[in-house]
Amino acid sequence: MESDEEESKIFALKTTANQEKAVGDMIYQIAKREKLDIRAVLSPSSLKGYALVEAPRSDILIEASESIPHSRGIVEGEIPLEEVEHFLTPKPAVSGISEGDIVELIAGPFKGEKARVKRIDEAKEEIVLELFEAMVPIPVTVQGDHVRVLDQKEEVED
């Protein structure tokens, strides 16, 4: 923010469900093309039916959004930054994964293999796994975003 410009405010734009990203992209394109003072657009996947837009005044957002399909209007008033801060900080890749969970590797040399989570290093965002198909149980360390949870702490018969 430059000191000679108006202060930014955050507004919520109502959208059709599952069209948040498309509406956000169109807002950005129109703002760029029309040189409107829209400073940021955020459409977090966990916020269904809304896109968050940073602009100095709501009339700028109204002008940008009036011709966009799936745009359903603006929520009255501005949104305090404290209410949207949690969308701005990335959550760790290992969140939602526990020891004992059964996962499938979705990247790397063991892609497609199933494994059990043995240990989680939250600081490094790494997971130590034991592959099911391996002849000898060897611990394999992978990045937290390289796995998809299949079952939460389900017991598997050997």
Which of 86, 103, 109, 100 minimizes the C-alpha distance to 144?
Answer: 103
Q: What is the pLDDT of residues 56-103, one digit of tens each?
A: 999 999 999 988 999 999 999 999 988 988 888 877 778 888 899 999
pLDDT of residue 10: 94
Q: What are the tokens at 88?
A: 């701005």
pLDDT at 152 > cutoff 80: no
Tell me, what's the pLDDT at 135? Answer: 87
Per-residue tokens: 1: 């923010």
CB atoms within 10 A of CB 49: 14
Q: pLDDT digit string (tens) for 96-141?
A: 888 999 999 999 898 999 999 999 998 888 999 999 988 888 899 9
Where is pLDDT greater, at 155 or 148?
148
* 156 band by pLDDT with thresholds 50, 70 and 90: very low
Domains of the chain: 9-88 (3.30.70.940), 102-151 (2.30.30.30)
Gap between the Cα atoms of 47 and 79, Å rounded:
14
Mean of the per-residue pLDDT values for the chain?
Answer: 87
The Cα 94–Cα 108 span in angstroms is 17
Burial class (CB in 10 A: 0-12, 13-18, 19+), 75: middle
Single out the residue of 26, 22, 56, 15 nearest to residue 39, CA to CA. 56
pTM of the entire predicted model: 0.62
